[in-house]
């Protein structure tokens, strides 16, 4: 439990507040202004010192490191001019990256914005998304031979294969379990039994898409092997 | 130390400032604009790979260019696979190894900007003397305040000294201006810092002044 002592005096129409906070063990404290006016915090190079905001100060106090604060306000003095509005364990309110993401929301591109709607490489453990496979017309017939091969279509196919392979790895991990403990651990790694059911369903869908893709690849390979563009003859004609 | 370069809205010259300031501070510039990377990229692992756990942070730093750079991928799949919460640890790793790190944050108030600000010891806010840019800057300054990251300085881009005072008053921090500059545009096209291409230009001298001003503030 932290203890606050505060007093104030007036100089040139401004109220100057002095605050001293002590505690028997390390504490996080929030000190808030009780004057009926704004807080003018201490500044360096025009920037408020760390810990200050519009209503007061938040910082740490320890038995051997008492917290001494001073601020000004145009409001009239009151007694006491400041109070401890909140306190807790040191570090209990420190923001974490996880808390920032929770508060501000994820900023990833929506699934619908992905090339061809394919879910990205993160889908190795995400069994919920739709899975059109690489045979969805991702770039359309306008992707001609001159439009390059390393573009979004390539990324989309790579991402789709990475997702399929991720699901297969997860499925193989479940199959490889030979004891109850291993099976329990594998189910946990996969995200629970419901996630395992969804995984099985997705792997079945993958099987069908891969078979279709295999047939399409074979046909394309046969055509690629059969075709030979007569470039020299065409050049003579052109 | 890690310095985040942020902005309330895009298109104000944030990446240009991060790159040129990185050159002056001899820092590693991390392109943390996960969805809209702007700094030059090359083949090899990038920040998307690092945040997806596919590459180590240090192997993704490219020391071959005029400024050491941890580039960011440009694919939507990469942006989707990146775990933004891993950015704090990534910046910490790079800072421990290289010392000075300048982070080119995404503009705005998203979690990617928030995590970069959280991981930084201080931030710079880049803005322009226009109403939309300044309104966004006030919001970004507030985000930095909530996350406990001190605003070291405001960079007023493509502006003269006349605009300095109202911006300093509005944002409550000292301001360095970077003028509209042919030398800077030339340096951009050449993929070089302006301090290398045109060391005698006013833009180069402003970036030197900016580097001098943030050093002592960060050491506080």
* A53-63 pLDDT per residue, tens: 878 998 889 88
> Are the C-beta atoms of residues A17 and A73 closer than 8 Å to each other?
yes
Question: Which CATH number among 3.40.50.300, 1.10.150.120, 3.40.50.720, 1.10.10.10 corresponds to the domain B2-210?
Answer: 3.40.50.300
- Residues from chain A contacting residue B77 (CB–CB below 8 Å): 114-115, 118, 120-121, 155-156, 158-159
Query: CA nearest B77: which of A153, A125, A105, A159?
Result: A159
Q: Provide the shortest C-alpha distance from residue A237 to chain B (in Å).
A: 41
The continuous run of DSSP H or E covering A43 comes out as strand A43-44
Looking at chain B, the whole-number percentage of residues with pLDDT higher than 90 is: 61
Beta-carbon contacts of residue A144 (< 8 Å; ≥ 6 apart): none
> Are the C-beta atoms of residues A131 and B184 closer than 8 Å to each other?
no
Q: Provide the shortest C-alpha distance from residue A226 to chain B (in Å).
A: 35
- Residues from chain B contacting residue A126 (CB–CB below 8 Å): none
Beta bridge partners of B153: B124
The answer, yes or no, to whether the previous bond of A176 is cis (omega within 30 of 0) is no
Q: What is the structure's pLDDT at B101?
A: 96
Provide the residue ranges of all domains of chain B, joining segments of one domain with +. 2-210
**Predicted confidence (pLDDT) at residue A156 exceeds the cutoff of 70:** yes
Antiparallel, parallel or unpaired: β A56-61 and A27-33? antiparallel
Residue count of chain B, please give it: 220
Q: Tell me what the mean pLDDT of segment A80-93 comes to.
A: 87
CB contact B118 to A (< 8 Å): yes
Torsion of CA B19, B24, B27, B32, to 10 degrees: -20
Q: Provide the shortest C-alpha distance from residue B168 to chain A (in Å).
A: 9
- Residue A13 token pair: 């129409």
Q: What is the structure's pLDDT at B219?
A: 55
Does ipTM surpass 0.95 in this model? no
Q: What is the C-alpha to C-alpha distance for residues A115 and B80, in angstroms, rounded to an integer? A: 12
Q: Global pTM? A: 0.61
Beta bridge partners of A22: A3
**Predicted confidence (pLDDT) at residue B41 exceeds the cutoff of 80:** no
pLDDT bin (cut points 50, 70, 90) of residue A152 is low
Torsion of CA B149, B155, B161, B166, to 10 degrees: -50
Query: CA nearest A117: which of A130, A106, A108?
Result: A130
Q: What is the structure's pLDDT at A135?
A: 44
Q: Give Cα separations from B4 to A78, A149, B45 (angstroms).
A: 41, 36, 22
Q: Tell me what the mean pLDDT of segment B11-26 comes to.
A: 94
> Are the C-beta atoms of residues A36 and A82 closer than 8 Å to each other?
no
Tokens 């995400």 correspond to what residue?
A: A126
CB contact B46 to A (< 8 Å): no
């Amino acid at each position: 439990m932290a203890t606050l002592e505060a007093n104030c005096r007036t100089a040139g129409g401004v109220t100057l507040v002095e605050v001293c906070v002590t505690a028997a063990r390390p504490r996080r404290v929030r000190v808030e202004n009780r004057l009926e006016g704004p807080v003018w915090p201490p500044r360096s190079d025009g920037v408020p010192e760390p810990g200050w905001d519009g209503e007061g100060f938040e910082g740490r106090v320890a038995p051997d490191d008492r917290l001494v604060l001073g601020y000004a306000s145009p409001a009239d003095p009151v007694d006491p001019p400041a109070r401890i509005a909140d306190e807790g364990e040191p570090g209990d309110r420190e923001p974490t990256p996880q808390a920032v993401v929770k508060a501000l929301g994820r900023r990833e591109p929506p699934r619908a914005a992905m090339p061809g709607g394919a879910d990205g490489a993160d889908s190795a453990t995400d069994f919920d998304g739709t899975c059109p496979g690489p045979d969805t017309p991702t770039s359309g017939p306008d992707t001609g031979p001159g439009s390059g091969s390393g573009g979004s279509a390539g990324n989309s196919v790579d991402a789709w294969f990475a997702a399929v392979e991720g699901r297969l790895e997860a499925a193989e991990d479940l199959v490889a379990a030979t004891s109850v403990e291993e099976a329990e651990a594998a189910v946990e790694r996969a995200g629970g039994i419901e996630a395992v059911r969804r995984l099985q369903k997705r792997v079945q869908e993958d099987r069908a898409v891969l078979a279709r893709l295999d047939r399409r690849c074979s046909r394309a390979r046969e055509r690629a092997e059969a075709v030979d563009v007569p470039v020299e003859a065409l050049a003579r004609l052109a | 130390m890690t310095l985040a370069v942020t902005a309330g809205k895009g298109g104000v010259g944030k990446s240009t400032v991060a790159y040129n300031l990185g050159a002056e501070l001899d820092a590693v510039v991390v392109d943390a604009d996960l969805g809209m990377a702007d700094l030059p990229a090359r083949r090899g692992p990038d920040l998307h790979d690092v945040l997806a756990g596919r590459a180590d942070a240090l192997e993704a730093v490219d020391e071959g260019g005029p400024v050491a750079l941890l580039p960011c991928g440009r694919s939507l799949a990469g942006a989707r696979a990146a775990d933004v919460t891993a950015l704090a640890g990534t910046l910490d790793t790079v800072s421990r190894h290289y010392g000075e790190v300048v982070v080119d944050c995404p503009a705005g108030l998203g979690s990617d900007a928030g995590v970069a600000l959280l991981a930084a010891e201080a931030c710079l806010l880049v803005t322009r003397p226009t109403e939309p840019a300044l309104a966004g800057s006030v919001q970004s300054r507030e985000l930095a305040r909530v996350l406990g990251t001190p605003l070291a300085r405001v960079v007023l881009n493509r502006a003269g000294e006349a605009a300095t005072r109202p911006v300093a008053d509005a944002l409550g921090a000292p301001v360095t201006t970077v003028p509209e500059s042919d030398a800077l545009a030339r340096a951009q096209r050449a993929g070089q810092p302006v301090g290398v291409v045109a060391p005698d230009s006013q833009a180069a001298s402003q970036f030197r002044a900016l580097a001098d001003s943030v050093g002592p503030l960060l050491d506080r």
